[in-house]
């Protein structure tokens, strides 16, 4: 499954305001609420924050993957945000975060959820890609950057 098969322009936002980790996670969850696949946004929010309590999803290099699993979605949901300012996210490398890729999996689709997390991690490990995403001016531009990257560098 391609990342861009579940990510659409209405699930992407640039210049997301916020000054704290919780504020930007809430903002990207609110963005995900645009998906028709979400049945209960409060349960989604709870799943994401419960997962965050286990260990920070700030994986490093200015990037975080807040994620969780819940039956409050009918299928896997993704959202992507670029924050307005660098956020102290308690990341593994102690660096601030500006790129957030939210992934909400269905309890019964664990395999697909794990594969997508892996794909997102591999994709976002590329410094040049992260820089292009930080410079993007619109959700349309971000989606195109991700589509190009998936076509050129990842197995289908």
The residue ranges of every structural domain in the chain are 3-153
- DSSP, collapsed to helix, strand or coil, labels residue 95 as coil
Note the CATH number of domain 3-153.
3.40.930.10
pTM, rounded to two decimals? 0.93
pLDDT of residue 120: 85
Query: Are the CB atoms for 82 and 119 separated by under 8 Å?
Result: no
Q: Flag residues of the chain having pLDDT under 50.
A: 156
Separation between Cα atoms, residue 66 and residue 111, nearest integer Å: 17
| Beta-bridge partners for 64 | 58, 100
Separation between Cα atoms, residue 128 and residue 97, nearest integer Å: 16
Q: 94 catalytic, yes or no?
A: no
pLDDT of residue 97: 97
pLDDT of residue 48: 97
For 131, phi then psi, to 5°, come to -65, -40
For residues 25-34, b (16+ Cβ closer than 10 Å) or e, as one string? bebbbebbee
Write 140-145 long-range contacts (CB < 8 A, 24+). Answer: 140/9, 142/12, 142/14, 142/80, 142/82, 143/4, 143/7, 143/8, 143/9, 143/12
Identify the active-site residue in 46, 67, 94, 113. 67
**Each residue's pLDDT tens digit, 16-31:** 999 999 999 999 999 9
């Amino acid at each position: 499954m391609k990342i861009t098969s579940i990510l659409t322009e209405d699930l992407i936002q640039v210049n997301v305001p916020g000054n704290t980790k919780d504020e930007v996670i809430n903002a990207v969850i609110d963005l995900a609420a645009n998906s028709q696949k979400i049945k209960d946004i409060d349960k989604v929010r709870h799943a994401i924050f419960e997962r965050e309590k286990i260990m920070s999803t700030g994986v490093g290099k200015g990037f975080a993957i807040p994620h969780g699993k819940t039956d409050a979605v009918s299928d896997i949901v993704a959202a992507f945000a670029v924050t307005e300012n660098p956020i102290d996210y308690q990341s593994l490398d102690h660096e601030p975060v500006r790129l957030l890729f939210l992934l909400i999996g269905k309890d019964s689709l664990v395999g697909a959820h794990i594969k997508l997390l892996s794909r997102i991690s591999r994709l976002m490990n590329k410094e040049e890609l992260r820089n292009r995403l930080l410079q993007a001016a619109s959700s349309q531009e971000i989606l195109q950057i991700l589509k190009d990257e998936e076509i050129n560098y990842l197995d289908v």
